[in-house]
Structure formats: structure tokens, C-alpha cells
């Protein structure tokens, strides 16, 4: 059986010549039949690739041959089906969008806290614990006692953090001293940027979970855990639990929200077309398009083929990228 190696990676590092890396990187990936998406920006690199062991290692080796990326880390997993259909190397203003000038995670990120040390930190009543993810991610799982900013996108987080710094709110200074803050996200990338932002705002004691929730669920035993629920992931597993085992949720193909039994049993749910979260928000033309896509997916599955417009479920822990 063919197995595909998936490598999720990111690194905040100053890459003023990022645009010049696009063409040779894309050529190398195509040469080795590696597929996925990589983002290049002045602040670094982010993305996920998949292919043969030799192909993925060739790409990682090429990236690490650049002294600026020599310590590039990646999370790897295996899939029995190809997780991606094409290779894209995109140029971006940011590898994770915040829309705030001057944030430099490569120089200003908060202190890393290893998974095995995380419980002691967030159990301290003097530490404000903030979930840096979006509302639909928090809805299916989070750390006990963490604050949910209820953001719809990462770019909304700075405004929420500013609001929380006002008198009487979670991040307000007391007796002239700003509180200690611990932040976490799926894989670590959003936390590096959000803790850098807090340090710009004068918060000195800022921490983030190294490797994100995924590393915590991989490392910490359930009986010692302060995590509750599932962790949303941006691939066909939809969610994972302890040991990074895929969870029971599925994805709405219309709005990309995670769906449990309650949503799937709703009269507003129609597989591949709509769910209670997006019912009524799509035009008739959009629904016809979703219905046709779902029909083509069903035909392809009936023939044991991979439909080009639908990603097959990732197995054995294949992921889309660290969040």
C-alpha cells in the first residue's frame, strides 16, 4: 500500500527576498511530485506538503539549506490517500493575517512553555489564559478556564485584546502592573504572533504553549489533562482527541464548520450543501453548485476514485497545517 508523508511547517523569520524563493521552490516540489500549499511572506514561511518520503525530504532539505531556515521544524503524519491534488506556492503579506504593522514574532514572541509544564502555568489563578482561536474552533473544545474571545477570524484578535486591557477587564493592569498572560492555539503559529503583539503593548510576562494543542494532546495523558472536548484541525479529520486520534465530527462543505450529531440531525442539514450554521445564507445558485459537487463526489466514491474537487479523508493523522 502506498503511503504519503505529510509535513506541516512554519517559521517566523525575516525573508526580505521571499518572492525570489517562489519559482525554485515550486519547481522543486513539482519535480518530486510533492503537493500541498506553502505561503511565503516577509515574516517567514507556513504550509503543508505531502508526497513520497524522498520527495518531502528533498523539499525540506532544500528549505533547510537556507541558513535562515536551517532549524525549520515540521510535524509529520501519514496518509494512505493523497491529501492534496496540486502544489501551490503563494506570496503573501503575512503568513498568518493580523493586519497590524510592526509585529515581529521572530524577535518578540512570548516564552515557550512545553506541554508537560502547561498545566502548572494555567492553573495559577494569577495567569490570564486566552484561547487565540476562532469561535467555531473553541466551540468544540478548549482548556478548562480559558477565555474565549469569540472572534470569527484571527485578524479580529488585536481589537479584542485592546478592549480587554480596559479597566475592569481580563487584561487590565492592577496596581500599575499588567497581568501574566498564557495563550494557546492549534499548532503554535497564531500564538507566536499574538504574544508578540501583546509584548508590543507592554505585557512583559507572556507565554504560549509550544507546539500548540496538538502537541499537548500528543504528549499529556488524559488523566492528567486540563483539555476538554475536541481540537478542530484544518483538514479532513475535522477534529482530533488524545493521541491525535480523529474525532467524531464532520465538515460542512458549504461553510467549513465542524458538525456533530445535533447539527447532522437538524432539518437544516443537507449533506454537502448546508447545515444549521449556514442555512439561509447561501444563494440558490450556490446551493445548486454545492449539490452538483456532492453528486460528483458520490459518483467518484462509487467508482473508488478521487474526485478532483473534494479532498479524501486524511488517515492516520495527515494534517493541513499548524494553526
- Domain membership flag for residue 144: yes
Q: Which domain holds residue 278?
A: 249-302
- Domain membership flag for residue 135: yes
- Domain membership flag for residue 237: no
> Is residue 108 within 8 Å of 159, Cβ to Cβ?
no
Domain endpoint, select from 44, 63, 91: 91
- Domain membership flag for residue 323: no
What values do phi and psi take at 97, rounded to 5? -80, 120
Is 78 in the same domain as 123?
no
- The confidence score (pLDDT) of residue 217 equals 94
Whole-Å CA distances, 317 to 12, 76, 138:
25, 8, 21
Q: How many domains does the chain have?
A: 3
Q: Please indicate whether residue 29 is annotated as part of the active site.
A: no
Q: What is the mean pLDDT of residues 201-210?
A: 96
313 falls in which pLDDT band (50, 70, 90)?
Answer: very low
Is 48 in the same domain as 130?
no
Query: Got the DSSP string for 125-158?
Result: TTEEEEE-S-HHHHTTEEETT-B----SSGGGHH
Of the ranges 97-111, 203-217, 239-253, which one carries the lowest mean pLDDT score?
Answer: 239-253
Torsion of CA 240, 51, 193, 127, to 10 degrees: 30
pLDDT at residue 241 greater than cutoff 80: yes
Name the pTM for this structure: 0.83
Q: Pick the residue with more confidence: 270 or 317?
A: 270
- Domain membership flag for residue 204: yes
Is 114 in the same domain as 85?
no
CA diameter of the chain: 68
- Domain membership flag for residue 279: yes
- The confidence score (pLDDT) of residue 191 equals 94
Is 56 in the same domain as 153?
no
Is 215 in the same domain as 283?
no
- Domain membership flag for residue 310: no
Instruction: Find the CATH number of the domain harbouring 62.
Output: 3.30.70.100
Instruction: Find the CATH number of the domain harbouring 144.
Output: 3.40.250.10
Is 123 in the same domain as 86?
no
- Domain membership flag for residue 9: yes
Domain endpoint, select from 172, 190, 224: 224
Q: Pick the residue with more confidence: 77 or 127?
A: 127
Is 72 in the same domain as 113?
no
Is 63 in the same domain as 110?
no
* 3 state DSSP class of 88: strand
Domain endpoint, select from 161, 191, 224: 224
Point out the catalytic residue in the list 29, 185, 231, 252.
185
Is 216 in the same domain as 278?
no
Q: What is the DSSP letter of 274?
A: B
pLDDT at residue 319 greater than cutoff 60: no
Amino acid at each position: 500500500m502506498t503511503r504519503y508523508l505529510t509535513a506541516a511547517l512554519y517559521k517566523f523569520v525575516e525573508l526580505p527576498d521571499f518572492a525570489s524563493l517562489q519559482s525554485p521552490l515550486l519547481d522543486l516540489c513539482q519535480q518530486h511530485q510533492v503537493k500541498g500549499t506553502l505561503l511565503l511572506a516577509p515574516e517567514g514561511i507556513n504550509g503543508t506538503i505531502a508526497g513520497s518520503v524522498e520527495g518531502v525530504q528533498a523539499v525540506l532539505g532544500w528549505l533547510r539549506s537556507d541558513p535562515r531556515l536551517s532549524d525549520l521544524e515540521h510535524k509529520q503524519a501519514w496518509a494512505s490517500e493523497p491529501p492534496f491534488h496540486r502544489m501551490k506556492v503563494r506570496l503573501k503579506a503575512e503568513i498568518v493575517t493580523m493586519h497590524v504593522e510592526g509585529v515581529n514574532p521572530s524577535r518578540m514572541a512570548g516564552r515557550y512553555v512545553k506541554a508537560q509544564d502547561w498545566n502548572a502555568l494555567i492553573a495559577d489563578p494569577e495567569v490570564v489564559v486566552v484561547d487565540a482561536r476562532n469561535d467555531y474552533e473553541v466551540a468544540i473544545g478548549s482548556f478548562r478556564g480559558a477565555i474565549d474571545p469569540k472572534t470569527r477570524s484571527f485578524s479580529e484578535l488585536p481589537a479584542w485584546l485592546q478592549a480587554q486591557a480596559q479597566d475592569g477587564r481580563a487584561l487590565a493592569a492592577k496596581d500599575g502592573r499588567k497581568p501574566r498572560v498564557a495563550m494557546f492555539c492549534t499548532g503554535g503559529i497564531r500564538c507566536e504572533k499574538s504574544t508578540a503583539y501583546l509584548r508590543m503593548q507592554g505585557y512583559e510576562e507572556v507565554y504560549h504553549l509550544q507546539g500548540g494543542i496538538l502537541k499537548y494532546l500528543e504528549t499529556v495523558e488524559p488523566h492528567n489533562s486540563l483539555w476538554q472536548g475536541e481540537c478542530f484541525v484544518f483538514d479532513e479529520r475535522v477534529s482530533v482527541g488524545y493521541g491525535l486520534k480523529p474525532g467524531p465530527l464532520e465538515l460542512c462543505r458549504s461553510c467549513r464548520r465542524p458538525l456533530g450529531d445535533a447539527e447532522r440531525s437538524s432539518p437544516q442539514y443537507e449533506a454537502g450543501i448546508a447545515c444549521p450554521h449556514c442555512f439561509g445564507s447561501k444563494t440558490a445558485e450556490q446551493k445548486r453548485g454545492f449539490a452538483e459537487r456532492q453528486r460528483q463526489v458520490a459518483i467518484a466514491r462509487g467508482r473508488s476514485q478521487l474526485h478532483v474537487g473534494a479532498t479524501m479523508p486524511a488517515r492516520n493523522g495527515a494534517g493541513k497545517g499548524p494553526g
